[in-house]
Chain A
Amino acid sequence: MNLEILLLVAFGGAFITYVLGKISHRLRNGFAVSVSWFLVALVAFFYGKQLSTTFYSGFFDLPFILRINSLSWLFAIAIVFLGALSTVFSLSYMKGRKRTNFYYLMMLLVNASMMGVVLAGDLISFYIFWEIMSWTTFLLISYNRGPAIAAGIKYIVMSVIGSVSMLIGILSLYASYGTFVMSGISAGIASASSGYILLTLILFIIAFGIKNAIMPLHTWLPDSYAEAPSPFTAVLSGMLTRMGVYGFLLLMYVIVGATRIFDLGGFSYILAWLGAITIVIPTFIAMQQNDAKRLLAWHGIGQGGYMILGIAYGTSLGFVGGVFHTLNHAIYIVLLFMSVGAVQYRTGGERNLNKLGGLIKKMPIAFIGCLLGILGLIGVPLTNGFVSKWLIYKTLILGSSPGLAFAALIGTWATILSVYKFLHNMFLGQIPEKYKGIKKAPLSMQVPMIILSGTILLFGILPGIPLKVINEIGTSFGFQSLSVSAGGLVSEVSALNTINILAAIAVVGFIIWMFFRAGAKSTRVVQEDSYAAGTSVPKDRYHYTVKFYDPLFRMIKPYLRDIVDDFYNWIAGGARKIFGYIRRLYTGDIGYYTTYIILFLAFLILASLVWFL
């Protein structure tokens, strides 16, 4: 079986879905779901294979190469798996909306182009797929119109800046080595000067840093995540943003190579510190948010910092931790956005945390998904996030980088504060009267959430399964192999054994439960029946979770403005003013235009006279 089948199915499936949508919506939905699951099966088939296919297209005789290795496989399977779950989730979320054919076309195209990005073996096809990805994303972000258009434009402007920078980098590499093929470039660059490598790295990092939203290139992300339709936000946050991480891996370890990168010394250090800053500041900003999706978006930025930190630190533990965190983050953030999506779907699009509450009894599956999602995000033991964060912390501590380790650890504590507020304000506390009759999420929303919840626990309890694959990637990049076991790591310097932790908590929990059962039985009461020191708690809205962390914010608010965004907006405002002046030249009157032409010709004549005489 050849690699082009994957892309053929992915792109072909997208267009056929659109055509089928013109005939019948049910047919289209069925086809979209089956294509996405078929892709999962296809990609799974390629596990452990190292393939490379070359096509010679007529375009300047440039080779068009597809290849798969352990790194692309890991990203590809995550892309198709999460893409398939999001497609299933879309079924009820998008029901009855306008332009659904367009939505499904774009959704499948995004997944197909992401797969193209990870399968591309030369920089030109990489760039082409990267651009398809950016444009389809833009169209989906602005799907909802209104404020979504502004968010989409912000995204595409930054994305274009990144692409241009990447294109310059690609062309400069071509000028130096005469090839676009990654293996050829990496052979050539081994003997390049440090200055040239640094230039290339910076050009590419602008592109990948914008995609992965590293500070100070993050400003597109909160608006886009908040405004995109929820199932697509899931894809956007889970895999699409993490194409930046894939880019970093490709650049640092495939093209330039680990030895040259760490010869540069300061480079990986600076990148690690950028990662640390990206952890701390966005996580504290997340605490202030009252919009459920925006809160998660800021965490999306913050968790990206952990990945960069792990990858840039460049030990085998850190590398494995960073890549594993990318995978874990994708799983739990998709789950969290689905949970928000389910709540939005039932409450008529409400995502203001101050207006929700008490939905736990009404939407139990969404609650469980949300709970496991935030536990993973915090990195509580027995969820997947714990293992990858543990690996990163351990790297930083044993590498004697207390500053980085402090940033990573304090980021986790800030995460707890904001995600507790997130969970509490949606599912716990008092339920508003108008949501008393709410129904639970439809089946097509519950199934993806249950699958993802299961995955979080599976990877948390048996981290050996994904770690084995990631360890292979690490060894293929020249890192020392780790001794992976089912429950984590076996090594001399304090091993990790999640199975021990599971056993401890399960046994202890069971014993306590037995005691709990043996005690006097409790009576279930309604939530209004609570202690209020002789008065009564008002029946409807008495929302005491507005300004949940006010005492803290009174102290730290001045430090938490998104200065970078303000700065970019200031530039944009300035540019708009200048363009405004320029536009006045275009009066629409032919006479003016004739004058311009004559003036311009006069200028040319004058210039040539001055020049040649």
Chain B
Amino acid sequence: MIGKIVPIVTSPILALLIGIFFLGLSRKIMARIHWRYGPPITQPLIDIIRMFYQESVSHGIMFDLGILFSLAGSIAVVLFIPLGGMCALNSSGGLLVILYIMLLAPLGKALSSGEGANPNISIGVSRKLILSLGYEVPLILILLTLMIRYDTISIVGIVSQQGANWALFSIPLFISGIAYFLILPAILGIRPFDIVSAPQEISSGPDVEYGGKYLALATIEHALSLFIGNALFVDLFLGGGANPIFFFIKTLVVFVLCLFVNAVFPRFRIGQAIRYLWKWPTLLAFGGLIATLVMW
């Protein structure tokens, strides 16, 4: 019993801390690349605590519930993902359930901000949904490749079968690995795919009506989604981790690589983003699937 409860309690806390650390780190690294000094690495944490005590406006019940729903969804995903040998709920439906619970966060946010009746929100939500359709096409192909190669739908099974032979460096799967890395910025919502928030264009899109504690929750949700995107890559292609420390280091490396992409690229338009996502990553993912089917 204790052995079950410990990961259930610790994994969300761990994910939360790492996610917020990522937020701080990204601002710092971006600043250094821009030759600025940048804010202290704890700035996002300070902001979140401060925002909890600030005034805010609400547009109705769905506005409140949606954001709670969205954050609950993100935390639930963390419970299903193995974090370096630690998986809180490992026997509850596997990768398919993860794929589905990952939906709750954007859906909750879309429902919540939808009640805000602000043009920027509608544009942002529509972009978010189109973008997610864009990257789901290659993502589903990649996940199918993995599930067929390892003949299981359980993510824990996929991690344990890799062991030291990372999927990224095994023969047919490296193609899918590259495809996943190409869509990772879109999953994380960073440049060149920051079309959803696009602060200079549509005033942060779905976040525009959030203030005070709503913004705090939205920030936490954003931090978690940064963590989840990277953690999935580490679990699926880098063999997870023997313990949470190794897992964290791997996630950090992947994230920093993504930040470099973020630093040098300008923003796509939504049409360009879809065209890109449905061209190279999809072709690679499809190639990986065919190769796996032929070789296995």
Give the interface of A toward B (CB within 8 A): 358, 360-361, 367, 371, 378-381, 386, 390, 393-394, 397-398, 400, 402, 405-406, 409-410, 413-414, 416-417, 420, 423-424, 428-431, 488, 493-497, 500-501, 504-505, 508-509, 512-513, 515-516, 518-520, 522-525, 527-533, 537, 542, 544-545, 548-549, 551-552, 554-555
Beyond the given A360-B115, A378-B103, A398-B153, could you list 9 further A-B residue pairs with CB under 8 A, ordered by the A residue number?
A413-B140, A429-B117, A497-B91, A512-B75, A520-B54, A523-B57, A537-B117, A544-B119, A545-B126
Interchain CB contact (< 8 A) of B147 among A397, A423, A548: A397
Question: When the two chains form their complex, are residues A497 and B93 in contact, meaning their CB atoms are under 8 A apart?
Answer: yes
Contacts of A505 in B (CB 8 A): 72-73, 76, 104
A518 to B212, alpha carbons, bound, how many Å?
A: 12
14 A-B contacts, Cβ less than 8 Å apart? A378-B107, A402-B148, A409-B136, A409-B144, A416-B132, A423-B111, A428-B117, A431-B117, A500-B92, A509-B72, A519-B52, A524-B59, A552-B274, A554-B271
Query: Roughly how many angstroms separate A209 CA and B120 CA in the complex, as a whole number?
Result: 44
Q: Which of B63-71, B166-174, B245-253 contacts A (4 or more CB under 8 A)?
A: B63-71
| 7 closest A-B pairs by CB | A428-B114, A519-B213, A494-B154, A527-B117, A509-B72, A494-B94, A522-B56
B185 at interface, CB cutoff 8 A = no
| A367 to B111 CA separation, bound complex (whole angstroms) | 12
Is B84 on the interface with A (CB-CB < 8 A)?
Answer: no
| Complex-state Cα separation, A68 to B76, whole angstroms | 44
Task: Kindly state whether residue B263 has any CB partner on chain A within 8 Å.
Answer: no
CB distance from A170 to the nearest CB of B (A): 41
Is residue B145 contacting chain A, with contact meaning CB distance below 8 A?
yes
Tell me the bound Cα distance from A400 to B64 in angstroms: 43
Tell me if A531 and B110 are in contact (CB < 8 A). no
Nearest-CB distance from A413 to chain B (Å)? 5
Q: Are A428 and B62 in contact (CB under 8 A)?
A: yes
B58 near A405 with CB under 8 A, answer no
In contact, A413 and B118 (Cβ under 8 angstroms): no
In contact, B89 and A504 (Cβ under 8 angstroms): yes
* CB-based contact A527/B104 at 8 Å: no
Which chain B residues in 137-153 approach chain A with CB under 8 Å? 137, 140-141, 144-145, 147-148, 151-153
Contacts of A518 in B (CB 8 A): 52
**Are A429 and B68 neighbours in the complex by a CB distance under 8 Å?**
no
CB pair B96–A393 under 8 Å, yes or no, is yes
Task: Given A552-B130, A555-B274, decide whether A516 and B213 contact each other with a Cβ distance below 8 A.
Answer: yes
A549 touches B130 (CB 8 A): yes
**In whole angstroms, how far apart are the Cα atoms of A381 and B99 in the complex?**
10
Distance from A102 Cβ to chain B, minimum over Cβ atoms (Å): 41
A-contacting residues, B221-248, CB 8 Å: none
Residues of B contacting A532 in the complex (Cβ-Cβ under 8 angstroms) = 118-120
Q: Which residues of chain A come closer than 8 Å to B96, judged between CB atoms? A: 390, 393-394, 397
On chain B, the residues within 8 Å of A423 by CB distance are 111, 114
Closest chain B residue to A424, Cβ basis: B114
* Contact A520 to B100, CB < 8 A, known contacts A551-B270, A554-B271: no
Bound complex: CA A527 to CA B118 (Å):
8
Which A residues lie within 8 Å of B271 (CB)? 551, 554-555
Q: Is the CB of B129 closer than 8 A to any CB of chain A? A: yes
Report which residue of B72, B75, B203 has the largest number of chain A beta carbons within 10 angstroms of its beta carbon.
Answer: B72
Q: Return chain B residues, CB-CB under 8 Å to A504.
A: 76, 79, 88-89
Least Cβ–Cβ distance between B260 and chain A, in angstroms: 28
- In angstroms, Cα B151 to Cα A554, docked, is 39
Contact A406 B213 (CB under 8 A): no
Q: Is the CB of A509 within 8 A of B140?
A: no
The answer, among A380, A431, A555, for a CB contact under 8 Å with B104, is A380
> Would A417 and B289 be within 8 Å (CB), given that A424-B114, A529-B57, A531-B203 are in contact?
no
Interface residues on B, range: 35 or more
Given A402-B289, A508-B76, A519-B52, also A501-B97 (CB < 8 A): yes
Cα A367 to Cα B117 with chains together (Å): 16
For A358, what are the chain B residues with a Cβ–Cβ distance below 8 Å?
A: 117
Interchain nearest-CB distance for A527 vs B (Å): 4
Find chain B residues with CB under 8 A from A500 CB. 89, 92
Least CB separation from B157: chain A residue: A494
Does B34 touch A at the CB level, under 8 Å?
Answer: no
Nearest-CB distance from B255 to chain A (Å)? 24
Whole-angstrom distance between the Cβ of A217 and the nearest chain B Cβ: 28
Q: Report how far A545 CA is from B114 CA in the complex, Å.
A: 11
Contacts of B76 in A (CB 8 A): 501, 504-505, 508
Q: Judging by beta carbons under 8 Å apart, are B157 and A409 in contact?
A: no
Asked if B122 is at the interface (CB within 8 A of a chain A CB), the reply is: yes
The answer to whether the Cβ of B209 comes within 8 Å of any Cβ in the partner chain is yes
CA distance A444 to B141 in the complex (A): 46
Contact of A413 among B52, B133, B147, B208 (CB under 8 A): B133
Q: Are the CB atoms of A549 and B141 closer together than 8 Å?
A: no
Q: Complex Cα distance A522/B133, Å?
A: 34
Determine if B32 is an interface residue (Cβ-Cβ < 8 Å): no
Given the complex, which residues of A lie within 8 Å of B92, measured CB to CB? Answer: 495-497, 500-501
Which of B97, B104, B293 gathers most chain A CB within 10 Å? B97
CB distance from B229 to the nearest CB of A (A): 17
Q: Which residues of A contact B60 (CB under 8 A)?
A: 360-361, 524
Q: Give A483 to B110 CA distance when docked, in angstroms.
A: 38
Cβ of B35: which chain A residues have Cβ within 8 Å of it?
none
Within 8 Å of chain A (Cβ to Cβ): is B182?
Answer: no
A488 and B94 CA atoms in complex are apart in Å by 13
Q: Are A509 and B55 in contact (CB under 8 A)?
A: no
Residue pair B97, A428 in contact (C-beta under 8 Å): no
Q: Is B71 touching A512 in the complex (CB atoms < 8 A)?
A: yes
The chain A residue with its CB closest to the CB of B74 is: A508
A410 CA to B138 CA in the complex, in Å? 10
The smallest C-beta distance from A543 to any residue of chain B, in angstroms, reads 9
A contact residues around B118 at 8 Å (CB): 530-532, 537
Contact status A519-B94, CB under 8 Å: no
CA distance A527 to B99 in the complex (A): 34
B55 near A527 (CB under 8 angstroms)? no
Which of A402, A420, A519, A549 touches B293 (beta carbons < 8 Å)? A402
Q: Are B57 and A525 in touch, CB under 8 angstroms?
A: yes
For A402, the closest partner residue in chain B by CB is B144
The residues of A that contact B145 with a CB separation of less than 8 Å are 402
Tell me, in angstroms, the Cα distance from A187 to B28 when the chains sit together.
76
B213 touches A420 (CB 8 A): no
Residue B20 at the A interface, CB < 8 A? no
Which residues of chain A are within 8 angstroms of B208 by Cβ–Cβ distance?
Answer: 530-531
Chain B contacts for A416, CB-based, 8 A: 103, 107, 129, 132-133
* A405/B56 contact (C-beta < 8 A), A494-B91, A545-B122 known: no
Contact A519 B212 (CB under 8 A): yes
Q: How far is the CA of A416 from the CA of B105 in the complex (A)?
A: 13
Name A527's closest neighbour in chain B (CB-CB).
Answer: B117
Docked CA distance A162–B283 (Å): 41
Cα A360 to Cα B61 with chains together (Å): 9
The interface residues of chain B lying within 8 Å CB-to-CB of A410 are: 136-137, 140
Chain B contacts of A361 at CB under 8 A? 60
CB distance from B103 to the nearest CB of A (A): 6
Q: Assess the B129–A420 pair: CB atoms within 8 A.
A: yes
Name the CB-closest residue of B to A287.
B133
* Residue pair B153, A512 in contact (C-beta under 8 Å): no
- Chain B residue at minimal CB-CB distance from A412: B100
Interface centre among B99, B144, B203, B214 (most CB of A within 10 A): B144
- With a cutoff of 8 Å between Cβ atoms, the chain B residues found around residue A531 in the complex are 118, 120, 203, 208-209
Q: Which residue from chain A places its CB closest to the CB of B101 in the assembled complex?
A: A381
Residues from 27 to 61 in B contacting A, C-beta threshold 8 Å: 52-60
Contacts of A386 in B (CB 8 A): 100
Contact: B213 with A494, CB < 8 Å?
no
Tell me the minimal C-beta distance from A160 to chain B in angstroms: 39
Complex contacts, A413 vs chain B, CB 8 Å: 132-133, 136, 140
Q: Does B218 contact A (CB under 8 A)?
A: no
CA distance A552 to B208 in the complex (A): 23
Name the B residues within 8 Å of A398 (CB-CB): 151, 153
Looking at B79, B117, B120, which has the most chain A CB atoms within 10 Å of its CB? B117
